[in-house]
Amino acid sequence: MVGQAEYEHETEYEYVVIGGGTAGCVLAARLSENPGVRVLLVEAGPGGPPEGARTPQAWRTLIGSSGDWGDSVIDETTKRTILFPRGKGLGGSTDINVMVFIRGHLSGYDAWADAGAEGWGFDDLLPFFKRSETAPDRDSAVRGTVGPVTVRTIASRSPVAAALLDATREVGLPQAADPSSGFEEGFGWHDLTIGNGRRITAADAYLTPAVRARRNLTVVTDALAGRVLVEDGRCAGIEYGAGGRGNTARCTREVVLTAGTIGSAQLLLRSGIGPESHLRSVGVRPVLDLPGVGENLSDHTLAGVAYEAAQPVPAGVSNYAEMSGIITAPIPGYECQERPNIQFMIASHGRTVPPANGPENGYTIGFALMNPKSRGTVRLADLEPDSPPVIEPGYFSDPHDLDGMLVGLRIAQKIGAARALDPWRLREAGPGPAMITESELRSFIIDNYVSYWHCAGTARIGTDAMSVVDPQLRVHGITGLRVADASVMPCVPAANTMPAVYAIAERAASLITAPAQET
């Protein structure tokens, strides 16, 4: 646990970082490496992880805990209420996520550059991916060797997952030696942020060592940032405290927002930076009409085919999701059919991925469309800093996304029916043999999908009128203010987002501290 500093009515720092999640831990640690600057990190949540967070198998109990903002959303397209977990506290979502460390296929990042995020393709990000990690069992030419976050495959592998991997090979799907690298399409054993049987968080890897070693880094927890202060077009500091008010921190260089896809958009809007019509409608005085703030919300949806096992499934020592794969599948109505577009997350526990009513003694082949077309929004409910955001995820608002999920379901069923699984498979429990028509399978997906916790895009990089930050992550129209978290992604990458957030934050630190080297 990192200690909490006492609030001070007004203090001056060179850098202020808002949000102590994945990106915030990186930025606070990297910026404070310079002993000549003072850095303040402000986090709304607690200083330590929720109870049970260190035990990998217990991750499902963390949804709704003290480490989760506790959001749920009503999706207007499907009319379902969906849990929308996001981390709260030092370490952010690395305190409560599923600990799967997969960069995502390189084509997903090249899509960022194609969308106007110049300089943010996979090759541009690779040095920062490597800087963040130590992957001792991987190829050092493409993986990190001295980074703060140690990642590796699980040593004691589930026999069910091994049989499932054999099944993917049997049905002719490609195999990958390192599915976490971003260079390969196919199935294999992915990396996890688990060391010595315990979860590794961003706070463990970056923040705690920095706080112990440096006097120039101040960390304040249980303190909500209410707004950034803009004076004559420059960000001069922040207002923060209980309920988002009561204390001011002045900033002589830069304020960096690292509150996440939802939190950073909220904070910009509360500060009067965003669509002017929306700001006025909730009583916020507009400071800058920036229409892209809170737009372009992108997320993966996850569903699965569940099986009841013919023999007891071993409990295992990991998070139950040790193996995965990404493939290219033809999907009607999609461009760029040559890019890997469906990820499969193999879970050796019947209720690790949906359907939630799957058998306890079983396993699930999860599937998710990696390049969804659907987009949502983040808005304010009112002008109060501690009011929950209004999140409209927009799942399946583009009907092609359901087409893609249906393709994933059918491939998952093909894997599940392979002979390699005969010793383990008792029956397909969901959707099951009674659901065979396209209409029935579509309904199954709609009734059982969940958020994959991969939201992104509400303050995207670009130079067009709907972008929020430029390629150096500076907020358009305001000096001294940057955003450096998943909100800047033009679209969600083709995998789990944790490694990408680490890389974005590492690159942001480089941009801030050595701007002449990054153009």
* Residue 2: HSE in the Cβ half-sphere, 13 Å Cα cutoff: 36
Whole-angstrom distance, CA of residue 488 vs CA of residue 491: 9
Whole-angstrom distance, CA of residue 508 vs CA of residue 519: 12
Residue type, 155: A
Whole-angstrom distance, CA of residue 354 vs CA of residue 483: 33
Mean pLDDT of 265-286: 98
Quick one: CATH architecture of 154-189+301-371+396-448?
2-Layer Sandwich (3.30)
Model pTM score: 0.96
Whole-angstrom distance, CA of residue 340 vs CA of residue 173: 12
What is the tens place of the pLDDT at every residue in 73-111? 998 888 899 999 999 999 999 999 999 999 999 999 999
Residues designated catalytic:
454
Question: What was the pLDDT predicted at 518?
Answer: 42
E strands, 115-163, are: 133-134, 149-150
Question: What was the pLDDT predicted at 397?
Answer: 95
Question: What was the pLDDT predicted at 152?
Answer: 97
186 touches 165 (CB < 8 A): no
β-pair partners for 379: 390
Residue type, 379: R
State yes or no: pLDDT of 337 exceeds 70. Answer: no
- Domain spans, the chain: 1-122+200-296+375-394+454-498, 154-189+301-371+396-448
What is the tens place of the pLDDT at every residue in 151-170? 999 999 999 999 999 999 99
257 touches 268 (CB < 8 A): yes
Quick one: CATH architecture of 1-122+200-296+375-394+454-498?
3-Layer(bba) Sandwich (3.50)
Residue 459: C-alpha distances to residues 40, 296, 323, 377, 473 (Å)? 23, 8, 32, 11, 9
What is the tens place of the pLDDT at every residue in 30-50? 999 999 999 999 999 999 899
